[in-house]
Chains A and B, each alone.
Chain A
Amino acid sequence: METMNCNKVTKRYGANAVIKDFDLTLEKGKIYGLIGRNGAGKTTLLSMMSAQNPASEGSVTLDGENIWENADALRHICFAREISPSANQNSLANMRVRDYLKTASWFYPAWDKELAEKLVKKFELDGKKRLGKLSKGMLSAVTIIVALASKADFTFLDEPVAGLDVVMREYFYRVLLEEYTNSGRTFVISTHIIEEAADVFEEVIIIKEGALLLKENTTELLERAYRVSGLIEVVDEAVKGLKCYHEEKSGRAKSVTVLLGEGERLPEGYDVSIQPLTLQNVFVALCGMEE
Chain B
Amino acid sequence: MEKSMKKQSVSRTVRFWGGYVEKIFLMVLVIGAVYVLFLPVLINEDMKGTELFLLRASYAVMMEGIIIFVLPFSYPTYNLPLALSFGSGRREAVAGMQLSNLLAVGQNLLIVGIVELAAGKMAAVSGREFFAYAGTGFAAAAGILLAIAAIGQFGAALILKFGAKGTAIYIIVFALAVFAGALTVGFSVGTGQIDDAEILSMLLDAHVLQMIKRIVGVLLTVDVAAYIVGYLVLKRTVMRYEVRM
Residues of A within 8 A of B (CB): 47, 50-54, 69-72, 74-75, 77-79, 81-84, 88-92, 103-104, 106-109, 146, 152
Contacts and interface: CB of A to CB of B under 8 A. Distances in A.
Contacts of B74: 91
B96 to A, nearest CB: 12
A69 B91 contact: yes
Contact of A89 (B5, B9, B11, B78): B78
A103 B13 CA distance: 11
Nearest to B79: A91
23 contacts: A52-B243, A54-B239, A69-B89, A69-B90, A69-B91, A72-B2, A72-B5, A74-B89, A75-B5, A75-B87, A81-B245, A82-B245, A84-B245, A89-B77, A89-B78, A90-B77, A91-B74, A92-B78, A92-B82, A104-B86, A106-B11, A107-B16, A107-B83
Contacts, number: 70
Query: What are the 8 A-B residue pairs with the smallest beta carbon separation, nearest first?
Result: A91-B78, A107-B86, A106-B12, A52-B243, A89-B77, A74-B87, A69-B89, A106-B15
B88 interface: yes
B78 A52 contact: no
Contacts of A146: 86
Given A78-B87, A90-B77, A107-B86, A71 B5 contact: yes
Interface of B: 2, 5, 8-9, 11-12, 15-16, 74, 77-79, 81-92, 239-240, 242-243, 245
A83 B16 contact: no
Contacts of A109: 8
A53 B16 CA distance: 20
A71 B9 contact: yes
Contacts of B12: 106-107
Nearest to A76: B87
B78 A107 contact: no
A253 B181 CA distance: 83
A51 B239 CA distance: 11
A52 B84 contact: yes
A107 B89 CA distance: 11
A4 B228 CA distance: 37
Nearest to A92: B78
Contact of B77 (A52, A83, A91): A91
Given A71-B5, A92-B77, A108 B87 contact: yes
A228 B82 CA distance: 49
B87 A47 contact: no
A35 B138 CA distance: 61
A47 B243 CA distance: 8
